[in-house]
Amino acid sequence: MKLTPEARGTFAIAPTPFFEDGRIDFDSIDRLTDFYAEVGCDGVTVLGILGEAPKLEGDESLAVATRFIKRAGRKQVIVGVSAPGFAQMRTLARASMDAGAAAVMIAPPPNLRTDEQITGYFRQATEAIGNDVPWVLQDYPLTLTVVMTPSVIRKIVMDSPSCVMLKHEDWPGLEKITALRGFQKDGSLRPLSILTGNGGLFLDFEMERGADGAMTGYAFPDMLVDVVNLSAAGRRDAAHDLFDAHLPLLRYEQQPGVGLAVRKYLLMRRGLLASMALRAPAVPLTDAARAEVDWLLARLARRDPRAALSPA
Nearer to a second copy by Cβ, of 92 and 276: the residue is: 92
Q: How far is the CB of 293 from a second copy (least distance, A)?
A: 10
Torsion of CA 33, 27, 271, 277, to 10 degrees: -110
Nearer to a second copy by Cβ, of 114 and 310: the residue is: 114
Nearer to a second copy by Cβ, of 152 and 192: the residue is: 152
**Which residues between 277 and 306 bind a second copy (CB under 8 A)?**
279-281, 286, 288-289, 292, 299
Nearer to a second copy by Cβ, of 40 and 141: the residue is: 141
* CA within 13 Å, CB half, 219: 29
Stretch that binds a second copy, among 5-13, 28-36, 106-114, 225-233 (CB under 8 A): 106-114
Contact between 151 and a second copy per CB under 8 A: yes
Nearest alpha carbon to residue 84 among 95, 92, 76? 92
Nearer to a second copy by Cβ, of 40 and 120: the residue is: 120
Cα distance between residue 308 and residue 306, in whole Å: 5
CB atoms within 10 A of CB 302: 10
Contact between 147 and a second copy per CB under 8 A: yes
Cα distance between residue 225 and residue 206, in whole Å: 14
Nearer to a second copy by Cβ, of 232 and 289: the residue is: 289
Beta bridge partners of 18: 24
Q: How far is the CB of 66 from a second copy (least distance, A)?
A: 17
Please, are residues 39 and 227 in contact by the beta-carbon 8 Å criterion?
A: no
**Which residues between 9 and 68 bind a second copy (CB under 8 A)?**
52, 54-58, 60
Stretch that binds a second copy, among 131-139, 197-205, 222-230, 264-272 (CB under 8 A): 197-205
Cα distance between residue 140 and residue 228, in whole Å: 21
Nearer to a second copy by Cβ, of 87 and 312: the residue is: 87
DSSP string, 146-192: ----HHHHHHHHHH-TTEEEEEE--SS-HHHHHHHHHHHHTTSS---
Contact between 310 and a second copy per CB under 8 A: no
Contact between 100 and a second copy per CB under 8 A: no
Site string for a second copy, 239-278 (x = CB under 8 A): -x--xx--xx--xx--xxxxx-------------------
Residues whose CB is less than 8 angstroms from the CB of residue 18 and which lie 6 or more positions away in sequence, other chains included: 24, 25, 52, 275, 277, 278, 279
Nearest alpha carbon to residue 228 among 11, 3, 58, 63? 11
Nearer to a second copy by Cβ, of 2 and 123: the residue is: 123
Please, are residues 176 and 168 in contact by the beta-carbon 8 Å criterion?
A: yes
Q: From the CA atom positions of the chain, what is the Rg in Å?
A: 18
Q: How far is the CB of 148 from a second copy (least distance, A)?
A: 7
Q: State the residues that interact with a second copy by CB under 8 A.
A: 52, 54-58, 60, 84-88, 91, 110, 113-117, 120-121, 124, 128, 147-149, 151-152, 171-172, 174-175, 178, 201-202, 204-205, 208-209, 240, 243-244, 247-248, 251-252, 255-259, 279-281, 286, 288-289, 292, 299
